[in-house]
Structure 1
Amino acid sequence: MLAAQFMALLDVFIVNVAAPTIGSDLHASGADLQLVVAGYAITYSVLLITGARLGDRFGHGRVHLVGLTLFTAASLACGLAQGSTELIVFRLVQGAGSAVMIPQVLSLIQRTFTGEARVRALGAYAAVLAVGAAAGQVVGGVLVSADLLGSGWRPVFLVNVPVGLVLLAVGRRVLPRGGGREQGSAGGLDGPGLVLLGAAVSLITVPLVLGQEEDWPLWSWLSLAVGALLFALFCGYEARLARRGGAPLIAPRVLRHPGMGLAVLRITAVMAVNGGFLFVLTLHIQGGLGYSALRAGLTFAPSTVVFGVVGLTWRTWPAAWQRALAPAGFVLTALSVAGVGLAFRGGDEGGAWAYGAYAGVGAGLALAFSPTLTRALAAVRPQDAADASGLLATVTQLGQLIGVAVFGTLFLNRLESLGAPEAYTSSEALLTCMFALAATAALGAVSGLVLRRR
């Protein structure tokens, strides 16, 4: 299950490094590249809660295998795509496969383990998230630069096919096949809620991604307004459905669980910073500085190593430090991303200062994310496992989506206002984005402290 989780997460980030090569090969615009990266997250985030409900109804092991099959087939289609439109469509399908596959991981952890064993299992889950997020950049660089048989960027998708086939073969033997409604809540799939949420996310995301390319036409502002209205309608509908005894996508009792509101806020902030940081920095070092895909991927190695080490070891640190880890992580992230921007200022290549800042980003994000996720899920009741898992997985992906759309748009807008994507102009656009990311991380620390106090 964790191997499948790693593969799906790798696919979120592996495309970042491949994006410039994809753009050159398929003649894709900046907006197309944002949709290639963010399209996966759109369907992933919208369908995650429904994927969790499907596992509750039909059995988590069985549904996981169905999602894995769809993900593997879509990966093959992505690797064979002949145009940017095809690739975007197949990325949407790939995200849907992940949305069906991934919620089952947390749900099975919740149902299989208790006490300290559950904490250890959640720690392993968080560590996989940490390593997968950062390793995607490195693996993407290696695969693109290898240019296997002249295939360029395509191996970043095709590598999933043999791995997926192996996991399908093993999963059929070791995963539980039963365990439908009788194991958990008998909640329905809430079709109207799914439609409202999906429409709201799409109407808000698409203009954020395409608005800059189209010079912010009237339709983009209308789409944002309608998306906000539909999100308000979604919230109202879910509240009324819960009062009538129905099964909303997000159960109110899960949101009222101690610490869940704080976890939602912090995970959204940390993933927005993570997604924006990786996407924008990749565009700068490949487009502005002319790094190869391999060098760009290896640039993130310090973040990968430190993120993984911190994600695996934070539980062994002194007990007196534990409550301060997440706020400290946000503060460290804010200082480190600002340091990255300053290191590249003026078109410089950063040097040792930049690599120290990368390590700080990895440590800060791990401290902000891993303890937050583990504490939020460790005490959730088994009957709420599917809803809690779906909620936090959705928040994780929505945060990632927001980061790519908002900060990617900020970078491209700033770059356009400064001129051609040369080293100096690109570094100035990067600095603006890094300060905005630092402000977001600082807000995550302060808001989290305020909410916990209340």
Structure 2
Amino acid sequence: MIKQIDNRGPLFILSAAAFLSVLDIFIVNVALPTIKKDISATEADIQMVIAGYLLGYAVFLITGARAGDYYGKKRVYVISMCCFTLTSLFCGIAQTPMQLNISRSLQGISAAFMVPQSLAYIQLLFPDQAARVKALGFYGSVAGIASVIGQFLGGFLPEVHFSNVLFAHMDGWRLIFLINIPLGIAAATTAYLYLKESKVAPTGKFDFSGVALLSLALLFLVYPLIRGRELGWPLWSVGLLVSSFLLLYGFVKHQQAKMKRGLSTLINVYLFRYPDFKMGLFIALFYFIAQDSYFLITGLLLQDGLNVSSSETGLLFVFQGIGYVLGAVISVHLIGKYGRKIIQLAVLLMMGSLVLHGILFSVSGLDWYLSYPLLLMYGVGCGSVLPSIMSLALQRIPGDLAGSASGLYSTVQQAAIALGIGITGGVFFSFLEEQTNKAAFVNAYIGATGVNILALGAVLFFLYRLPKELKPELLPEKA
């Protein structure tokens, strides 16, 4: 007999998915230099530690959401939480870069099945709109807290050393994955005991062919961007890049053909008839290319280039998190009054912060401690932009398409982060060329930051192109 508690209890249980999935995106950022040294990883290997997780997450996110309809949300949530916990163990005990990257990819796939169930459950547990908004707000705040805690722990844990017999040979960075184990066990157990199973309502067959096409397209796009540079751009890497665009084109045509035949599809191509949704996807693409690659190159510069400790680097990124919270709180009130101008100003603030980053690190004699206010400034910009761009993309999507639209948006978001790691990280390492002096790191940082500034410039362009108002006769008619 399943025990029942009020909806606040299940909300805490379900929020564990948000906490763990976001924690494992941010917790590795600061720890990467330590991981690289300990397992003798290459530059491409450490890029894949982030990109592998995000690719697994992105490719299976929509499929994960559909799985709950077929097999029951509780069942999928508990199983995927157990898989996430197990793959976290594999990450923590990995001895080679290949073992770590395979485990990280599986961890991302587990998150892709876990997170959609938690969001869907909130819709069921809180049918009242006002209560649902509060619940989703709490869920989102848990994710925000996880990003800040992740960056702090990612800097602190690598400096933890065990001296007793049991853990004599365990390096501290492994704890960034192993701490998921007690949390995951607690979340899976409480979910099994206290969550009520949802009704199973399958609507057609899984689009396995669509999953395969999208998986290959994203893999062929990101993997050669990361590995190709390190190997001197062999012919196979160029071939994969070309193939990725052909596969993406084929994927869209494949989805269109299946929709015309009335078959289940991975995405609803009807969504692309909404101009603001299309612009919103471009905004998300370029924004997330810039945002998370920032942590990769800044962490590498501070630790490997400026000899800042991992704990101090983690504390610096916490300031970015504080700025994010401030920006999110302030922008909620300002955007309601001034509209997208606030978002555009926030993007300019991020771009200005990045320019000042380059000046600070390149001017000899300036102390790196001055980067605290710059990270705070960057965080304020992020906090003002990120919560709003999804709303801009989805604002005119009808209710029956909202689930498909949010799933596609989230897929683009995760894939863009992986793409940013490949592009911006690749530019950073291309400039560095295995040099270890401060000047080389600073030059590499400025070159890679230039890519991120260009990406944010593209965000401004698409924000400008975003339709302000659509007349009713210009809205698409359903087929």
Superposition TM-score, scaled by structure 2 size? 0.87
Cα deviation for residue 269 of structure 1 reads 2.2
Q: 2:64 aligns with which of 27, 51, 57?
A: 51
Q: Which moved more, 1:119-128 or 1:98-107?
A: 119-128
Could you say which residue in structure 2 is the equivalent of 1:154?
A: 174
Distance 1:275 1:135 in 2: 16
Cα deviation for residue 232 of structure 1 reads 0.9
Counterparts in 2 of 1:55 and 1:329: CA distance versus 1, 3 Å? farther
SS of aligned partner of 1:153: helix
Could you say which residue in structure 2 is the equivalent of 1:429?
A: 444
SS of aligned partner of 2:206: coil
Distance 1:350 1:248 in 2: 54
What count of residue pairs does the alignment treat as equivalent? 449
Q: Which moved more, 1:29-38 or 1:120-129?
A: 120-129
SS of aligned partner of 1:433: helix
On the 8 A contact 1:270/1:441 being kept in 2, the answer is: yes
Could you say which residue in structure 1 is the equivalent of 2:101?
A: 88
Could you say which residue in structure 1 is the equivalent of 2:187?
A: 167
Q: 1:448 aligns with which of 456, 463, 466?
A: 463
Q: Which letter does structure 1 place at the counterpart of 2:458?
A: L
Distance 1:126 1:372 in 2: 15
Instruction: Kindly report which structure 2 residues correspond to 1:350-389, keeping only aligned pairs within 5 A, or say none.
Output: 350-351=367-368, 353-374=370-391, 376=393, 383-389=400-406
Q: Which moved more, 1:125-134 or 1:223-232?
A: 125-134
Distance 2:187 2:246 in 1: 42
Deviations 1:214-266 (A, max 9, x none): 01111111110111111111111111112222222111344445743233222
Q: Which moved more, 1:72-81 or 1:288-297?
A: 288-297
On the 8 A contact 1:62/1:176 being kept in 2, the answer is: no
Could you say which residue in structure 1 is the equivalent of 2:7?
A: none
Distance 1:348 1:300 in 2: 22
Deviations 1:251-285 (A, max 9, x none): 13444457432332222222211121011111111
Q: 1:270 aligns with which of 275, 281, 287?
A: 287
Counterparts in 2 of 1:138 and 1:347: CA distance versus 1, 3 Å? farther
Cα deviation for residue 452 of structure 1 reads 2.5
Higher relative contact order (CA 8 A, sep 6+): 1
Counterparts in 2 of 1:4 and 1:312: CA distance versus 1, 3 Å? farther
Counterparts in 2 of 1:321 and 1:3: CA distance versus 1, 3 Å? farther
Distance 2:82 2:293 in 1: 30
Structure of larger gyration radius: 2
Counterparts in 2 of 1:347 and 1:106: CA distance versus 1, 3 Å? farther
Question: Quick one: percent identity of the two aligned structures?
Answer: 30
Q: 1:177 aligns with which of 177, 192, 197?
A: 197
Cα deviation for residue 378 of structure 1 reads 7.2
In structure 1, the gaps of 5 or more residues are none
Distance 1:72 1:255 in 2: 37
Matched, 1:338 2:352: no
Distance 1:201 1:350 in 2: 41
Q: 1:252 aligns with which of 258, 269, 274?
A: 269
On the 8 A contact 2:252/2:269 being kept in 1, the answer is: no
Deviations 1:358-389 (A, max 9, x none): 11211111211102224555776664454233
Cα deviation for residue 127 of structure 1 reads 3.4
Distance 2:329 2:263 in 1: 39
On the 8 A contact 1:62/1:178 being kept in 2, the answer is: no
Counterparts in 2 of 1:429 and 1:113: CA distance versus 1, 3 Å? farther
Distance 1:197 1:250 in 2: 11
Could you say which residue in structure 1 is the equivalent of 2:31?
A: 18
| RMSD, aligned α-carbons | 2.3
Distance 2:457 2:463 in 1: 10
